[in-house]
Amino acid sequence: MSTLKIKNLHVKVGEKEILKGINLEVTTGEIHAIMGPNGNGKSTLLSAIMGHPKYTVTSGSILLDDQDVLEMSVDERARAGLFLGMQYPQEIPGVTNSDFLKAAMNARREEPISLFKFIRTLDKNIEELDMDENLAHRYLNEGFSGGEKKRNEILQMKLLQPKFALLDEIDSGLDVDALRVVSEAINSMRSDDFGCVMVSHYERLFELVKPTHVHVLVQGQIVMSGGYELVEKIDREGYEWIKELGIELE
């Protein structure tokens, strides 16, 4: 069992404070949904946990069990078992998808994976995700459609087997069939050794991947936490009701 513990996290982008004291504790076995209006800091939170250099942590702490995540490079965070499925995956011309995946897998292993085993694992997962097998040999994300990029993030997650996956709007750009395939892939990861933080605007994803915990992030703070009923309320009513709690929406 592992725990990712975020305490009183404050994060700036440039001069602007985006996160204003986030507290969140995720244990393996749990799936946490984060919802909230656009521009309120959801991507900032996931990117800051992974260590994206654009986001500056000004105070607070992030612990992965007894390890101080804020002291670690992005590479070290990945090796420790953190994974970010990005809202806007980067195109990396010149690096093939398969070389990238193999390097990322090897970074988490003592001994490099054999080519035979790598290809077998890659093929199996590409088939399960209903992806075009050519995508493995193309440059990473270059010219991929929105849906292909999202599936490719899930392919990375499946191959890397992280302890904690941070999935940022993994459902955007997916049609109904692709959403089902991706949801099944996430559900197949569920175990006592896997925890997940999922950002999405839509009940459709959370119907397929039922979160154990739901949080609403507004203006850089988690203003409410609960269970699945919060997803349903937001689907029905949007966020206007947040104002009644005395919280301003931008």
- As given in the structure block, the two tokens for residue 19 are 């996160």
Instruction: Supply the minimum distance, in Å, between the C-beta of residue 201 and ligand ADP.
Output: 9
Nearest distance from residue 205's CB to ligand ADP, in Å? Answer: 15
Residue 18: contacted member of ligand ADP, Mg ion, none (CB under 5 to 8 Å, by partner type):
ligand ADP
Q: How far apart are CA 211 and CA 74, in angstroms?
A: 26
Name which of 9, 5, 4 is nearest 221 in CA terms.
9
CA separation, residue 8 to residues 46, 61, 97 (Å): 15, 7, 37
Q: How far apart are CA 82 and CA 78, in angstroms?
A: 5
Contact predicate 93/123, CB 8 Å: no
- Check binding of 42 to ligand ADP (CB under 6 A): yes
Q: Which of 1, 8, 25, 39 binds ligand ADP (CB under 6 A)?
A: 39
Q: Which stretch binds ligand ADP (CB under 6 A): 31-39, 76-84, 89-97, 98-106?
A: 31-39
Kindly tell me which of 78 and 166 has the beta carbon lying closer to ligand ADP. 166
Write down the residue that tokens 């302890």 correspond to: 163
Q: Can you say how many angstroms the Cα of residue 217 is from the centroid of all Cα atoms in its chain?
A: 15
Identify what 41 binds: ligand ADP, Mg ion, none; CB under 5 to 8 Å per kind. Answer: ligand ADP
Q: Considering only residues 28, 40, 141, 156, which one is a binding residue for ligand ADP as defined by CB under 6 A?
A: 40
Residue 41 within binding range of ligand ADP, rule CB under 6 A: yes
| Segment contacting Mg ion by CB under 5 A, of 38-46, 58-66, 78-86, 236-244 | 38-46
